[in-house]
Amino acid sequence: MIIEPSRNLTCVKTPFYRDDEDEPEPNTSLLWEVERLRLKLDKVKQEKAKLLCNQKTLMLHTQALSALVSELTQKLEAERRDRKQTESTYQFLVTNLLREKADLEIMLDTIVQHSDLMEELLHEQCIRDPLTGLFNRRYLAKSLERELCRAQLTERSLGLIMLDVDHFKGFNDTYGHEAGDVVLRELGWLLKTESGALDIPCRYGGEEFMVILPEASLEKTQQQAEHLRRQVKRLKLTYLSQDLPGVSISVGLAVFPQHGVTGNQLMQAADAALYQGKTQGRDRVVTASG
């Protein structure tokens, strides 16, 4: 843009000129150029002021935008943390549910797989004496009839041993019933460990025990009865860390078919022999007569 100098310019005298000298003619072109530059400078100043104003406005907008971006970033970060925490919680719950599901499946499989074992354990509780672990009286009666039928079919003998702890009532009165239970438990353990693989040791009741010996002859039954009597005398009994006196047993025995062909006959014969041993001084083995 070309700025035309004003035509109304007047020339001002300066002290450089003397009154007696003629004034020189002003340089119009130079004056025009100076005026043009002055106007241009004014315009530059105006534009600079406008730029500064725009710069301030832009800085304000930038600060506002930065604050907005920061706020949005914080919100997004908070939402991300919440989502991550929610996902973590969900994953934790899913993992626990899966673990519980697996545990339940294992428990179910275990119950199914061991149902037979549980039935067997229940059956054991029905046929076992809880104190000694031996078979109980009901199982004794069934087993004796079963083994007698087998002996009759195979025409083989069968032995029956009945034994009783000597002076057991006096032992209980002196040392207490709990000490008496120690005697019965130890005797039950001895009968289980010292009986043959086919033998059936049972607790008949109280301090009385019976052992069924399938396919045992009279001689073998007598040998086993004497062996049990000797082993009982070797028992080391303790109660509450104190030694108890040893005990002895009286034994009566009967054998199929010499002393009876039914369970009741054999049991009566063995019981009569046991009673005879008691009356003869105890701590002995007596064979049924007949």
In this predicted model, what pLDDT tens digit does every residue of 49-76 receive, in sequence order? Answer: 888 888 888 888 888 888 888 888 888 8
CA 155 to mean position of chain CA atoms? 55
DSSP-derived 3-state class of residue 184: helix
Q: Can you list the alpha helix ranges (DSSP code H) found in 114-156? A: 115-127, 137-154
Residue 9 CB coordination number (10 Å): 13
Per-residue pLDDT, 79: 85
In DSSP terms, which residues pair with 243 in a beta bridge? 238
What single-letter DSSP state applies at residue 172? H
Within 13 A of 130's CA, how many CA atoms are on the CB side?
Answer: 3
200 pLDDT above the threshold of 50: yes
Cα distance from N-terminal residue to C-terminal residue, the chain: 157
Task: Kindly report the backbone phi and psi dihedral angles of residue 257, in degrees, each rounded to the nearest multiple of 5, phi listed first.
Answer: -100, 5
From the number of C-beta atoms within 10 Å of its C-beta (0-12, 13-18, 19+), residue 210 rates as buried
- Residue-level pLDDT at 60: 86
> Which helix H or strand E contains 201, and what residues bound it?
strand 200-205
The packing angle between helices 115-127 and 28-113, to 10°, is 40
> Which pLDDT tens digit goes with each residue over 146-197?
999 999 999 999 999 999 999 999 999 999 999 999 999 999 999 999 999 9
Look at residue 159 in the predicted model and tell me its pLDDT: 98
My answer on whether omega of the bond before 257 falls inside 30° of 0, hence cis, is yes
The 3-state DSSP class for residue 15 equals coil
Count the residues in the chain.
290
The model's pLDDT over 10-57, given as tens digits with 9 standing for 90+, comes to 444 445 444 545 555 667 888 888 888 888 888 888 888 888 888 888
Q: Please give the residue that has the higher pLDDT: either 10 or 208.
A: 208
CB atoms under 10 Å from CB of 258, counted, come to 16
132/149 Cα distance (integer angstroms): 28
Q: Which residues, 6+ apart, have CB-to-CB distance to 226 below 8 Å?
A: 251, 285
pLDDT computed for residue 147 by the predictor: 97
pLDDT score of 11: 46
Helix or strand or coil: residue 158?
strand
Q: Which of 47, 207, 208, 219 is catalytic?
A: 207
**Separation CA 263–CA 253 (nearest Å):** 13
207: annotated active-site residue:
yes
